[in-house]
Structure 1
Amino acid sequence: MALSRRTVLLSGATVGAVGAVTGGASTAGATGTVVQNRRAVGRPLRQDPFTLGVASGDPAPDGFVLWTRLAPQPLAEDGLGGMPDRVVSVQWEIAADEAFRHRVQQGVVPARPQSAHSVHVEVAGLLPGREYFYRFRAEGYLSPVGRTRTAPAPSTMPAALAMAFASCSQYEHGWFTAYRRLAESEPELVLHLGDYQYEYAKDTYTVPGGNPRDHEGPETRTLANYRQRHAQYKTDADLQAAHAVAPWLVVFDDHEVDNNWADEIPEAPDPDFLARRAAAFQAYYENMPLRRTSIPRGIDLQLYRRVRWGRLATFHLLDTRQYRDDQACGDGYRDCAAAAEENRSITGAEQEAWLLDGFRRADARWDILGQQVFFAQRDNNAGPLTVTSMDAWDGYVASRDRITRGWVAAGVRNPVVLTGDVHAHWASDLKLDYADPTSRTVGSELVCSSVTSGGDGADSASDSHPFLRINPHLRFQNNLRGYVRTTITPAQLAADFEVLPYVSRPGAPVHTRASFVVEDRVPGLHQTYDRPVDPSAAARRVDPAEATRQTVQSETLRP
């Protein structure tokens, strides 16, 4: 990405950290050997530094990214995890088996204090479509073992891909049991669609009955704040299990920085917002299994990218925060003529052109957009007005229209949009003209509920939400917490909406609330399963009026 003028102006305060991260990122070739840049000196570590677990991400046919971060005291207020101010050598190794009897690569990489002792190893030279195991060592300590895999070779058509996606994990709002249940399903790939962590100070954003857990530290504004907050989330054993089970593809939404931010515009006036954004991006990169192409440059971070899974699927990972125009008419639900202005964009012109070009080049069976906010129209007014969320694609109608018509014009075989953000499960058909319910369906959208955000939530009949009657293209809604589990084959994409009856205490069971199928070359959703949660296990049920109130409140009245 080219450096903008604002990046150059701001980067003076962060160039040291960015340079350090660049030095810490490493690429391993066929031999797997990485040369250590500097000998570690000083007093040895006296506590286990692998408190934040391990992770992998962005798989390619010959490799992936491996990640860990050393933090013997993860909640240290300075954000440095209790690590000494020196370089620490970290050994990494990859094996074909979990017992590490058959090692295939290994190397050494420096973990530097300037990058909060995070490690990113870009591995290459492996075989395509294979499962691997990895771990790290540092000064006598051994990390947990992670499982990962390479993507299939570009020319192959895999028989199936087990993929799960999740979003919105507010630590204070409950236990991350959904991550544990996701890990137990053993997917081959995980997408996280944003709001991985939340910026609020303790008890600022609360659920009825009070938050079951507390955030450490103040509202995140500085690099130390964001590093500490990421570390607190990473100490959660359920989240660690989900990271260790499969490679992740990650994108951020708003709460990784600030609620409802848009490009250089914060939710509330803040003269220090650009410095805050730069700090948030730096910490995000340090704590995610991203490639060096995503190393921040001041307030810029290259996040949108493509990942291919052979000829079966292409994942187009979008960034709908960094380049968007400011929300029209405010952030909430509005009847807003400005939302339809032709020049408004949620992606920015460069990313839009990149996406449309990807559609024209599409050669996979499934083209999947992994992105943050609701794509289909959701009108909450049964009368003549169109009242929609200005923070979603409804606030950028022309932008949505260009993208949708782009995949239709390109003849994309099976477009599917994956979404997070709204703290509830939804499923919808996608239209060229939402004002005409009889217009043809041109794609499908699957929306995952939150991991915890919003608290326990509530079960309801799958067709009871008033939004479904106002918007016939909306097919399903449920307000329990959970994630979506999919099986993608050449013939169909099958999606199971997984729910938990509660998150206010640990150990909840998981339940498939509904299932849908998208068939090859048949745009739109076909429901194959619908079963309510046992009322004795659920927190409570909710009536349709309360469901509407919860939806609007969750998306417009967040602090």
Structure 2
Amino acid sequence: MNKLSLTRRAFVTSASAFGLVGASGLALPYYSRANQRPAFTHGVQSGDVDATSGMVWTRTDRPARVMYEVSTTESFADAVRLAPLDTSPASDYTVKRLLTDLAADQDIFYRMTAADLSDINAVSEPIVGRFRTAPASKRDVRFAWSGDTAGQGWGIDETGMKIYSTIAKHTPDFFLHSGDTIYADGAMKDEVDLPGGGKWKNVVMIDGKRKVAETLDEYRDQWKYNMMDKHVLALSAICPTFYQWDDHEVVNNWSDSKDLTTDNRYTEKSIPVLAARAARAFHE
């Protein structure tokens, strides 16, 4: 059967679960203007996918109620609605949800819509993602791996990180990002001089990339920068990513193998604090 193997009890299927039904039980009127609606700022992501579950992620531009639909068809003909989750400044308006009790080796489509918590009638355009659960029996598995995103000053030029679109064309079961997911310890310039002349121009920039990350918001900006690339967003929308932690998430070779005493940002007391902030941004 092409159905989600989930019990009805696991889901909230009434419109009240979406926060769009008034006390009378009648649907509230929809009349918000487009520029008053909340928006999803950095696409969608999925990860931690196994044979029966998978994590999905998104971020809104304000405190919002994120409403979920899950389906095994791209048309969402058999969609199941889940109870909503709220975003808040505490997690920088990000939200994650573990989808459970899924069928193995099955395409899972998820759709999210956001309602402004200060005006529940202001509803965003929907955003959609997909992943495939792991097989329960033997079959070939296709995956891609890489690492070291936007390091050594190489950011997003006019072409963007096209390698991510190339990976997406191969429709892998998952993508393994094998460390240095960000370069928090290296400030990025608007231009980089190329050997033999010419310049690499980072046409997309964000304040948090122009300096070494120290504050929580600066670590968050490191992640936001990667997700400002259209190719990164395209891969994330169709393929789960497994992220591994390495050194540049905090500071290059942040172990006893490197002397950091010449940089007053990195001391015996400060590194654990920076690592905690980096870890929080990583998990958000």
TM range (shorter): 0.7 to 0.9
Distance 1:113-1:164 versus aligned 2 partners, 3 A rule: same
Alignment match, 1:284: 282
Q: Larger relative CO (CA 8 A, sep 6+): 1 or 2?
A: 2
CA distance in 1, matches of 2:7, 2:95: 19
Q: Summarize the alignment of residues 263-278 of structure 1 with structure 2, pairs less than 5 Å apart.
A: 267-268=260-261, 269=263, 270-271=266-267, 272-278=270-276
Residue of structure 1 in register with 2:143 after alignment: 163
1:147 CA drift (Å): 1.3
Match of 2:25 in 1: none
- State the alpha-carbon separation in 1 of the partners of residues 259 and 234 from structure 2: 33
Alpha carbon RMSD of aligned pairs, Å?
Answer: 3.1
One-letter amino acid matched to 1:163: F
Q: Which residue of 2 aligns with 1:33?
A: 11
Instruction: Determine which of 43, 48, 51 is the counterpart of 2:41.
Output: 51
Name the SS for the 1:142 alignment partner.
coil
Q: Deviations over 1:364-407 (max 9, x none)?
A: xxxxxxxxxxxxxxxxxxxxxxxxxxxxxxxxxxxxxxxxxxxx
Alignment partner, residue 200 of structure 2: 211
1:233 corresponds in structure 2 to 226
Residue identity matched to 2:280: Q
Q: Which residues of 2 match residues 120-519 of structure 1 at below 5 A?
A: 120-139=96-115, 140-153=123-136, 156-158=137-139, 160-170=140-150, 172-173=153-154, 174=157, 175-199=160-184, 200-203=186-189, 206=192, 208=194, 209-213=198-202, 215-217=205-207, 218-262=211-255, 267-268=260-261, 269=263, 270-271=266-267, 272-286=270-284
Q: Which residue of 1 aligns with 2:84?
A: 108
Paired with 2:12 and 2:212, the residues of 1 have a C-alpha distance of 38
Q: Distance in 1 between matches of 2:75 and 2:149?
A: 32
Q: Gaps (5+ residues) in structure 2?
A: 1-5, 21-31, 116-122
In the TM superposition, 1:37-116 aligns within 5 A as: 46=36, 48-71=38-61, 83=62, 87-116=63-92
- Once the two structures are TM-superposed, the CA of residue 151 in structure 1 deviates from its matched residue by 1.4
The 2-side partners of 1:66 and 1:263 are apart by: 36
Q: Is the 8 A contact 1:62 1:126 kept in 2?
A: yes
Distance 1:49 1:262 in 2: 40
Q: Number of matched residues?
A: 238
Equivalents in 2 of 1:281, 1:204: separation in Å? 27
Counterpart of 1:119 (choices 95, 100, 107) is 95
Q: CA deviation at 1:196?
A: 1.9
Letter in 1 for 2:11: T
Measured at CA, do residues 267 and 93 of structure 1 come closer, stay the same or move farther in structure 2, by a change above 3 Å? farther
After TM superposition, give the deviation of residue 113 of structure 1 in Å. Answer: 1.6
Q: Is the 8 A contact 2:177 2:241 kept in 1?
A: yes
Residues 174 and 241, structure 2, Cα contact 8 Å, conserved in 1: yes
Q: What is the Cα deviation at residue 233 of structure 1? A: 1.6
Deviation track 1:309-352 (CA, whole Å, cap 9, x = no partner) reads xxxxxxxxxxxxxxxxxxxxxxxxxxxxxxxxxxxxxxxxxxxx
How far the C-alpha of 1:211 sits from its partner, in A, is 3.4
Shift of 1:198: 1.6
After TM superposition, give the deviation of residue 141 of structure 1 in Å: 1.0
Displacement of 1:186: 1.1
Kept in 1, the 8 Å contact 2:148–2:181? The answer is yes
In 2, distance between residues paired with 1:205 and 1:275? 31
User: How far does residue 262 in structure 1 lie from its aligned partner after superposition?
Assistant: 2.4
| Aligned residue in 1 for 2:3 | none
**Structure 1 SS opposite 2:40:** coil
| Change over 3 Å in CA distance of 1:219–1:47 after alignment to 2 | farther
Amino acid at match of 1:279: R
Q: 1:90 to 1:167 in 2, by over 3 A?
A: same
Q: Is the Cα contact below 8 Å between 2:191 and 2:201 reproduced in 1? A: no
8 A Cα contact 2:11 2:80, kept in partner:
no
Contact 1:98 1:145 in 2 (8 A): no
The structure-2 alpha-carbon separation of the partners of 1:273 and 1:243, relative to structure 1 and needing over 3 Å to count, comes to same
Kindly indicate whether the alpha-carbon contact (under 8 Å) linking 1:30 and 1:124 is maintained by their aligned counterparts in 2. Answer: no
Kindly provide the CA deviation profile for residues 29-71 of structure 1, in whole angstroms up to 9, marking residues without a partner as x. Answer: 744437999x89xx99835521200011111221100111113
- The residue type equivalent to 2:146 in the other structure is A
Paired residues of 1:52 and 1:231 also in contact (CA < 8 A): yes
Rounded to whole Å, the distance in 1 between the matches of 2:259 and 2:36 is: 42
Paired residues of 1:201 and 1:215 also in contact (CA < 8 A): no
TM-score of the superposition, structure 2-length normalised?
A: 0.74
State the distance in 2 between where 1:179 and 1:165 align.
Answer: 10
How has the CA–CA distance of structure 1 residues 264 and 142 changed in structure 2, closer, same or farther, with 3 Å as cutoff? farther
Q: Does the CA contact (< 8 Å) of 1:197 and 1:256 recur in 2?
A: yes
Report the 3-state secondary structure (helix = DSSP H, G, I; strand = E; otherwise coil) of the residue aligned with 1:161: coil
Conserved in 2, the CA contact under 8 Å of 1:201 and 1:219? Answer: yes
Seen in structure 2, the aligned counterparts of structure 1 residues 211 and 48 have a Cα distance that, compared at 3 Å, is: farther
The answer (yes or no) to whether the contact 2:190–2:205 under 8 Å persists in 1 is no
Q: Is the 8 A contact 1:259 1:267 kept in 2?
A: no
| Structure number with bigger Rg | 1
**Cα distance in 1 between the residues matched to 2:101 and 2:250:** 36
